[in-house]
Amino acid sequence: MVWKKIKQFAFGRKKNVPEGLWMRCPGCTKMVYKKMVEEGQMVCPECNYHHEISAAERIKLLIDDGTFEELFAEIASVDPLNFAGAKPYIERLAQAQKDTGLKEACVVGRGKIEGKPVIFGVTDSQFMRGSMGSVVGEKIARAVETAVEESKSFIFVSGSGGGARMDEGMFSLMQMAKTSAALARLHEAGQLYISILTNPTMGGAMASFAALGDVLIAEPGASIGFAGPRVIKETVRKELPAGFQTSEFLLEHGLIDVIVNRSELKATLARLLDYLEKPAQESA
């Protein structure tokens, strides 16, 4: 009888723990306090795993408050091929717009980083994995042309896990050449381009604009590459090194210049702008 009462006291009551306080980290698989992750700019306090974040959050983290002015916001995708697939492309676009509140996967505009004016852009991996369709490529190209016209540095944060958007076929693939050509003009004008690679940056994005920065910065643990590891393995028919598409491996082998934690990224960008920007009298 006594043991029955003890069991009821010790095990019979359910603790009223509010839902949503904890989250499982994809990096270390541990349960971590969600508020600590959010306060740490969506970085796991246990293993330093950098969670994917939205375009709006990127702008908030990197651009000075009240200085961001979006450009070319009115451009939206159409369905040039009437692409059906498992689900019609036009329906997938509408769903992505509803889920993210964005018209497209790319946001570009003017802003300041610690008082320094720049042209800034970001792809949002939550919008069709940040894939590059005709509108994404057009926005990037127009933003680069704006940087040339206004003699400003161009900074772009890539989170394009979907690469080129095959729902648009050749209309999507041609954006690789278009964005690369625009960046060549930026280079000829002597303006700085800093490319920030986040998890994931893959496919056509990494085969074009994302890899063309004067400085290539990556977040820790980011997946960066062209094709996925299974496709590469089946193509070359060789065992691949462990983690060969991580930012750490690519830094070791010279593809990127530096890995920067999210909390230090804005300050790093400000220093690079100080060191590398063309003086105002030269760019005038």
Cβ contact 203:173 at 8 Å: no
pLDDT tens digits along 148-181? 999 999 999 998 877 788 888 899 899 999 999 9
Q: Quick one: which of 195, 168, 165, 167 has its CA closest to 180?
A: 195
Average pLDDT, the chain: 88
Instruction: State the Cα–Cα distance between residues 28 and 44, nearest whole angstrom.
Output: 9
pLDDT at 65: 97
The tens digit of pLDDT for each residue in 22-80 reads 999 999 999 999 999 988 998 999 999 999 999 999 999 999 999 999 999 999 888 88
Three-state SS sequence of the chain: CHHHHHHHHHHCCCCCCCCCCEEECCCCCCEEEHHHHHHCCCECCCCCCECCCCHHHHHHHHCCCCCCEEECCCCCCCCCCCCCCCCCHHHHHHHHHHHHCCCCCEEEEEEEECCEEEEEEEECCCCHHHCECHHHHHHHHHHHHHHHHCCCEEEEEECCCCCECHHHCHHHHHHHHHHHHHHHHHHHCCCCEEEEECCCECHHHHCCHHHCCCEEEECCCCEECCCCHHHHHHHHCCCCCCCCCEHHHHHHCCCCCEECCHHHHHHHHHHHHHHHCCCHHHHC
- Out of 16-25, 39-48, 113-122, 189-198, which region has the weakest mean confidence (pLDDT)? 16-25
Q: How many CA atoms lie within 13 A of 4 on its CB side?
A: 1
Separation of alpha carbons 138 and 124, rounded Å: 16
Whole-model pTM: value is 0.87
Beta bridge partners of 228: none
Q: What is the pLDDT of residues 206-260, one digit of tens each?
A: 999 999 999 999 999 999 988 777 777 778 787 877 788 899 999 999 999 999 9
- CA dist 264 → 53, 61, 172, 258 (Å): 16, 10, 34, 12
pLDDT value for 19? 63
**Cis ω on the peptide bond leading into residue 220 (within 30° of 0)?**
no
pLDDT band at 277 (very low <50, low <70, confident <90, very high): confident
Q: Report d(CA 240, CA 229) in Å as an integer.
A: 8
Q: What is the 3-state secondary structure (H, E, C) of 142-195?
A: HHHHHHHHCCCEEEEEECCCCCECHHHCHHHHHHHHHHHHHHHHHHHCCCCEEE
Copy the structure tokens of residue 181.
């050509």
Fold annotation for 52-283:
2-enoyl-CoA Hydratase; Chain A, domain 1 (3.90.226)
Tell me, what's the pLDDT at 281?
Answer: 42
Beta strand 106-113 pairing with 69-71: antiparallel
Q: Per-domain residue ranges for the chain?
A: 20-49, 52-283
Residue type at position 99: D
Inter-residue contact 188 to 147 (CB < 8 Å): no
The model's pLDDT over 71-108, given as tens digits with 9 standing for 90+, comes to 999 998 888 888 887 889 999 999 999 999 999 999 99
